Amino acid sequence: MRFGSKVLFDDVTTTFSAGRRYGLTGPNGAGKSTFMKLLTGELPPQRGTVVHPARLGVLRQDHFAFDRFRVADTVIMGNHRLWAALEERERLYAKTDMTDAEGMRLGELEGIVGEEDGYEAESNAAILLQGLDIPDRLHGRTMAELQGGQKVRVLLAQALFGRPEALLLDEPTNHLDLDSIHWLRELLVRYEGTLIVVSHDRHFVNAVCTHTADIDYQTIITYTGGYDDMVLAKTQIRTRVEADNEQREKKIAQLQDFIARFSAGTRASQVMSRKKEVERLQTTELARSNIQRPYIKFAMNRPSGRVALEAKGVSKAFGDLKVLSSFGAIVNRGEKIVLVGRNGLGKTTMLKALLADAPGVKASPASIDAGTARWGHEVSIGYFPQDHTGFIEKGLTAVDWLHQFDPAASRQDIHGLLGQMLFSGEEGVKPTEALSGGETARLLFCRIMLQKPNVLVLDEPTNHLDLESINALNVALQKYEGTVFLVTHDEDLMEEVGTRVWHFDGRTIQDFKGTYEEYEASLV
């Protein structure tokens, strides 16, 4: 498969076996989503063939395709044969007078409905929806009435419905909270068919996958184990080939020295055998990997005072729904707080309330109803919002947008910073309105690195990042000496970065002084 001059896959032959669970990895732009479309048949290969089982569960990326259908019906559509039979049966039953042939057909349809467990379809769909935190009261509503995150979970239930022989899931954990991710993980570990999953959640891939199919070097190489196992194996193989090449190059140099010295003399037969030896020893050509790792480093212009934030009586409601109620806390310089809990319980609301009157952040008094959030001496804040819409001004290039936050910085410095975040060459002058989700996220990190704040407020920063970028962010946050407020569903980030946990359960906010791992252990 190629697009113009860019080759994604060249003569790839690979098999995905039943009973195995494959993580499909590779950096942004390597062709993961394209490969998934080739597997489902949505996209025909330019050369070669793809064979897949008849019953395929696919996570749909078009969140609006089912807006006119009931939620329960959208799930049942995951079994195409059953849904077609149910629709045809309904049309026949709607007729006032039926021919003998239609009566016979009705009997056949009832047989198909029985074979496909159609009589339990509603209750089976309900079980899946409940596991994905879609309450019973929404099952009869139309998809158009649901929020974005809820739609994703319904489409996930659709992919899982009807016991498919193979499951193809592209970013299934996006928009899921931690409890839903755990539920999905347990379900997939018990799944007996062939699973192929694209995910930027390293913890999830390591926990679910028995194998990793890595897209790199214009091909797909399958490794045993999860993402971490693949990285280790890949590094070892490359190191071994490089060492072998070094030895061969030394030997070739010695042989060529002999050939140069004696080619004109009497030792012609020895020279000829040395030439054959040189041909045999040609080094293995190492293809250039398309993996690119950004370099993220959060520095501070100056540290804040000892107390970074003091919150008293912080409250926020939406109509009759109380989300935050008289919350108070003192946060000391250098603490790294992870905010955890199910979606919709107030994590983003809390960050917005704390930022309502924060230095250097556009004031939003409506974000807090009562109480105060007093930021400490010399505090400067770097904010990464969950919703980037409107956050980056349109009509500018990436360089110009970034430059306005430090006019004293040279253009060379700005280009250097963009280069660290993988905006190479001409990409720095890309118009801001043409940026993808991943590019927007990386540009927001450039801004934070340029500003060098001593407090980071990050709301779902990993949503549009690939695994390499998430790993770079993880390391950068661990090394950062300032204060961090972090909302994320990435368990590796929670465990490796957080030194304090605010847990939202819908009634109270538990403030646990310790790591996420220690918090989990305290619940047992």
User: For 203-207, which contacts have Cβ atoms below 8 Å and span 24 or more sequence positions?
Assistant: 203/490, 203/491, 203/492, 204/173, 204/491, 205/23, 205/25
Q: Of 350, 448, 321, 341, whose CA–CA distance to 391 is shortest?
A: 448
- Run of H or E residues at 108: helix 100-115
- For the chain, give every domain's residue range: 2-229, 307-392+440-523
- Check if 2-229 and 307-392+440-523 are the same fold: yes
Q: Which CATH class is domain 307-392+440-523?
A: alpha beta
Tokens of 31: 């062709």
| Phi/psi of residue 430, nearest 5 degrees | -70, 140
Helices (H) and strands (E) in the chain — how many of each? 17, 17
Complete DSSP assignment for 435-462: --HHHHHHHHHHHHHHH--SEEEEESTT
pLDDT of amino acid 83 = 95
User: For 107-116, which contacts have Cβ atoms below 8 Å and span 24 or more sequence positions?
Assistant: 109/85, 112/81, 112/82, 112/85, 113/82, 113/85, 113/86, 113/89, 116/79, 116/81, 116/82, 116/85, 116/162
pLDDT of amino acid 280 = 77
pLDDT of amino acid 291 = 64
Distance CA 468, CA 451 (A): 23
Q: What is the mean pLDDT of each run of 10 residues along the chain (524 residues)?
A: 85 94 85 90 93 89 86 94 94 89 92 93 94 92 87 90 91 82 90 93 93 87 91 78 76 83 74 79 60 88 96 94 94 97 90 93 89 96 87 90 91 91 84 84 94 96 86 95 95 95 92 95 87
Q: Of 462, 493, 464, 465, whose CA–CA distance to 477 is shortest?
A: 493
pTM over 0.85, yes/no: no
pLDDT of amino acid 210 = 97
Distance CA 375, CA 308 (A): 6
Beta strands in 299-367 (DSSP E): 307-318, 321-332, 336-340
Q: Which CATH class is domain 2-229?
A: alpha beta
Residue that has been written with the tokens 């509603």 in this structure: 122
Q: Assess contact for 113 and 82: CB atoms under 8 A.
A: yes
